[in-house]
Structure formats: C-alpha cells, structure tokens
Amino acid sequence: MNIENIKTLGQLKAAGYEYKTIKDELRRNLLQKLMKKETTFEGIHGYEFTVIPELERAILSKHNINLLGLRGQAKTRLARQMVSLLDEYIPVVAGSEINDDPFKPISRFATELIAERGDDTPIEWLHRDDRFAEKLATPDVTVADLIGDVDPIKAAHLKLTYADDRVIHYGMIPRANRSIFVINELPDLQARIQVALFNILQEGDVQIRGFKLRLPLDIQFVFTANPEDYTNRGSIVTPLKDRIGSQILTHYPEDIETARVITEQEAAEAMAEKHHVYVPELARDILEEISFQARKSEFIDEKSGVSARMSITAFENLLSTAERRALHNGESETTVRLGDFMGIIPSITGKVELVYEGEQEGAAQVAQQLIADAVKSQFEEYFPRIEKLQKEADADPYTDIVAWFFEQSNFELLDTLSNSEYSEQLNRIPPLNDLVSVYMPDLDTRDIPFVKEFVLWALVEYRKLSKYNLSDGMRFKDVYGGYISGL
C-alpha cells in the first residue's frame, strides 16, 4: 500500500485497508516474526528462555501486561521494544485528538467529520514511533492527567455550555488511543486513581466530571511494578490486578557471561571513546562478580535489589580511572589495574540500599568489601583454593610468595606508576611469576600484570598477606614479618 497516494477515506477504501485493533496488530506481526524465526526483542539478554517467551505468549493472547521485578531488570525497555511489533504506519482521521480510525471513529469530532464529508474525509498517517506513551506513576498524578477534564477556556472560546461534551480536554490515555501505553511503578499510583482505570481496561467507558462517554479505546496497556513497592509505598488494588491479563516476573542475569554481555552492550559508547584503555578479561569478570556479591551481601537490602546499572556505571568509571592515570603519566595507551577498582566505589555507593548493619559499616567500606569478595570468589576459579590449615607446607603453592614478602618490607603499587614501572614492580616477585605461568599458562601477555596483582589481593583476603591503603596506592606486606623484624 503506497500511503503517499492515500489522502482521503475513499482512497483508503479503494486500497483495501481493513480495520484491526492494536492487540490484533501486535499478535499478527509477532506471529510473522516467530514463523520467520526472527528475534522479537533485540538487545535483551538473559531472558531468552524465561521472560521473552512469557511476553510473547501474553501478546499472542492479546493481554494487558504487568512486568513485575526489581529495579534495573529491563522492564521499561521490554515495553518500549513492543513498538517494533506495530505496523509501520496506520491511517487516522486528520485533526483527530485521539487517533480515530477512519473505519471505526469513536470521537464526536471524527464521527461528525465523516458524516459530513464522507469519502472526502482527509486522512493522515501515523508512524509506529509516535504510538508509544509513557507515564511514571507518582502520588501527584490525577484523574484529569490520565483521563481528562472539563476545559473552561475551550467552553468560553467555543461558546458552549458545560453540558456539551466538546468542552472536554482529553487526558493522556484517550490521546494514546491505538497506541501502547505504559504506566511505570504502578503501585505508586494512588488507589483512587487505579480505580479510575477499571472501566477503561474492561468496558471502555470514560467518565469525566459527570460526563459518561462511551469511548471504546483501543490501547495496549503495559504496567511495570517493583515488588518492594507493595510493602513500602503502596500496592496494586485487587480489582485492577484482576483486569491485567498476564503478570510476568523479570529477574537479574543468572551468570557472569550474560551480565558481561549486558554491561558491554550498554557501555559500548564509553568503550569506543576510551579505546586506548585495555580491559583484561579477568577484570571484566570481577566487575560483574561485584553485583553478584552485592545481591547476597548481608549489608545490602535484598528486597531493594542491585540494578544492572551498577555494573554499567562502574565499568564506565573503571575506564575513566585508567584513562585519568594514563593522562597524568603522559601515556597514549594503558591497561586497567586492580587498584583502579577503587575508582568505582562512587558507582557502588549510590546504587545500593544498605540495611542497618551496612549503615553502621559505612557505604564506602561496604563497597570495598564487595570488591574484595569478588576478587576472592574469582580467585577460586583459576588458582588452588587456600585452606586455613595446610597439612603439608610443601603442598601450599603460595608459600614461596609469602616467604618473599617476609624478607621485604616495602613493596608498593602506586597509582602514579607508568605501565612499564607497574610491570617491573610486579616482576620483582619471582615466585609470583612462577605461580601465574603454572596455573594460567595461556594468558594474554597484556593480562599478566593484572593477574599478578589479582593474586596479591587474593592472598590478602585469605590472610596470607596484609595490604595497606596509601593516599596514592597500596602497600603489601607479610602478615607477621614486620612485627617480627621490629622485635
């Protein structure tokens, strides 16, 4: 259908256009994608066998949908991507406030215009990108905002009485007719406002200031909600839940590989800008592990969740920390170091809700502990587990490293070290070189210095070494060596 040549109702009839509801439209286009085995929701990772099949089933069933999950679980992104399942263009009666379909007008304006002009009624074409409306539910949202109100200025201008329905100013929902309408954080909407949605969802009635209009609105509703809201701020009233066809539970990534894909996708712009900063593979895994550790930390409110945005902003800060160091050293390229993870602490402290014990510890201290826990967890993936009690000293592959530090009193990794100085400092520890070459023999040469520092941090967590934070770096020492040499 060549829409450029269709400008009147008569031309639309001649072209063979058929009316269909938005839910039929979504269903038909989804069926075509599924039959062609095309990806229905691009850039959504980790939901391939959980959320996306449930969402597809809800669309095929022509349901209104509630996406229920903690923050940072791509609920709004899923809703926005449903626009891709709409037809590229649909016809509307020209001048209609509520996107009237020429074959099934529902407003007084469109009905009277078609009755007056018949096949000469002017037609406009609406692109699918303009068929998405979104409202964040806040306590100050009113019925007038969502549904509409009487407009006294319009009444005065048109010289109409308040008994005439032409004085009505439509709210967001009627103006989203034939569109996808998303209400984010539904439980934050006052109960009396939720009640106003009952008839719209079920019968199509709209009541505005005493006017009872029969407006069978054609809308695909998508709601998002956080289960924490059910107890903290509000709830979804039961009759409204009953009118929502499908409630779909979202979740966080279930493994580090999926989490990495999400972070790198969302931080692609930062990575492109900082292409001169190399990030070792292990550094990427540790970064994601921090979020996994946070979600099970006793210091963080489990019900609040840990958003995927934390990993994204932390990754951006990690790149910037390394970039800043390179600029200070006058280097054109650099590699992320484990010490650079101290630069992501502001990205963590602003993204987690602490319980009472966490508040007592302090946000920065909790963030440092999460980094340490992530290092410890990843260490066991690559190196032999460090037991508290070793049966045989010779069986401990870390004995020589600890012994080296027993003889040394001043080993520092400063932030001001250049790339070459950083590598040379770590190469001073021969047993550390041997350990890495034995257990990670196929390591990229660019990753070797990072892994060496990683081993030192892990030995600190297992109480084999001690670490002191300096204003411009870190100092590593034997746990007891300094004390004994002092004696």
CATH code for the domain of 335: 1.10.8.80
Neighbours of 368 (CB within 10 A): 17
Q: Which of 229, 249, 269 corresponds to the end of one domain? A: 249
Q: What is the total residue count of the chain?
A: 487
Beta-carbon contacts of 186 under 8 Å, excluding residues fewer than 6 positions away, are: 66, 137, 194, 223, 224, 225, 236
Q: Which of 225, 249, 273 corresponds to the end of one domain? A: 249
CA end-to-end span of the chain, whole Å? Answer: 92
Quick one: which of 407, 399, 398, 454 has its CA closest to 426? 454
The model's confidence at residue 334, banded by pLDDT at 50, 70 and 90, is very high
State whether 100 and 60 are in the same domain. Answer: yes
Q: What is the reported pLDDT for 161?
A: 63
State whether 361 and 389 are in the same domain. Answer: no
Q: What is the reported pLDDT for 404?
A: 92
Q: Which of 249, 273, 297 corresponds to the end of one domain? A: 249
The model's confidence at residue 89, banded by pLDDT at 50, 70 and 90, is very high
Strand 168-170, strand 148-150: pairing? antiparallel
State whether 257 and 236 are in the same domain. Answer: no
The model's confidence at residue 207, banded by pLDDT at 50, 70 and 90, is low
Q: What is the mean pLDDT of residues 71-85?
A: 94
> Three-class SS of residue 221?
strand
State whether 217 and 284 are in the same domain. Answer: no
Structure tokens, 120? 């000469």
What are the start-end ranges of the H helices in 277-414? 281-295, 309-329, 345-349, 356-361, 363-382, 399-407
- Please tell me the distance from the alpha carbon of residue 133 to that of residue 349, in angstroms, as a whole number: 33
What domain count does the chain have?
3
Residue type, 205: D
- Per-residue pLDDT for 441 more than 80? yes
Domain that includes residue 55, residue range:
3-249
- Please tell me the distance from the alpha carbon of residue 307 to that of residue 324, in angstroms, as a whole number: 26
State whether 452 and 476 are in the same domain. Answer: yes
Averaged pLDDT score across all residues of the chain = 89
- Please tell me the distance from the alpha carbon of residue 405 to that of residue 408, in angstroms, as a whole number: 5
Q: How far is CA 20 from the centre of its chain?
A: 33
Quick one: which of 212, 204, 138 has its CA closest to 173? 204
Structure tokens, 148? 């509409």
Structure tokens, 137? 């539910």
